[in-house]
Structure 1
Amino acid sequence: MLQEFKDFIAKGNVMDMAVGIIIGAAFTAIVGSLVDDLINPIIGLFMGGIDFTNMYVVLSGSAPEGASLEAARDSGAAVFAYGSFIMAIINFLIIAWVVFMLVRFVNKAKESVAKEEDAPEVAPEGPTEVELLAEIRDALKK
């Protein structure tokens, strides 16, 4: 059973998947920073300074007036954090768009490599048909 496990781990697909997961985790941090540090301020600017992350409704309990979502949760209030949900949707759309662009780029690169491999080899130019017939004629005369 241990040998079977070693064979499973040694397969290329498992290693490729592990590398993909590690890169995906690092990519998540980049996208999170992109959304939090660059896109949210721009969206907030166009929405009149609204910060989606702190949009919530108190369902039960009490939260300090105008408190951040974190402060409301820390006070023990049950909150309906619809702003966090909006941000999750924005994050998803950005990640989906970036992944789409990456897949599109990789597919185009694969297509260009495939076209280069499928390109017919150009045969070296040789004598024309008339020249060959003339050579045969001259050879027969000798």
Structure 2
Amino acid sequence: MKNLIVILLLLCSFIGKAQTTNSLAESLQERVAGEGVITIYDEDGIEELVNIQVEVNQRMDGVDGYRIQLFSGSGPTGKRNALQVKSKFLNKFPECDVDVSFTSPFWRVRVGNYRHKHEALPLLNDLRDLFPNCYIVKDGSVKMNKF
């Protein structure tokens, strides 16, 4: 059911873009010699629903996605250890973003912004030598380009 909702939302976003620019709908309905014609009919209210979904997507701060967790620790040395892990990571991968966060009582160091788990695997494999205990985690605040 969740997959169906995600597909419907993506379809609505796509339709919303098509309806706001009309270029896709117009190009699909143009008559070209040797090609078929597609006619798009939509019910009353569909355009309004699509516009609502577009607004919701624009207000979202992030999406559920995946990161690689390099460190999680607490106690008096937790922050210092987290900052050391961050520094160690940036020395090896200066072009990557690092997220150091504190959610009581844990300091965490996470890297990467991935929409799908399999996208994080190449970096995870590269990090295994430097951080043998790193692993992929689901993160609800991943910043992604909006669709």
Structure having the higher Rg = 1
TM score, norm. by length of structure 1: 0.27
* Structure having the larger proportion of residues in strand: 2
TM-score, length-normalised on structure 2? 0.26
Work out which structure has the larger RCO, using CA pairs closer than 8 Å and 6 or more positions apart in sequence: 2
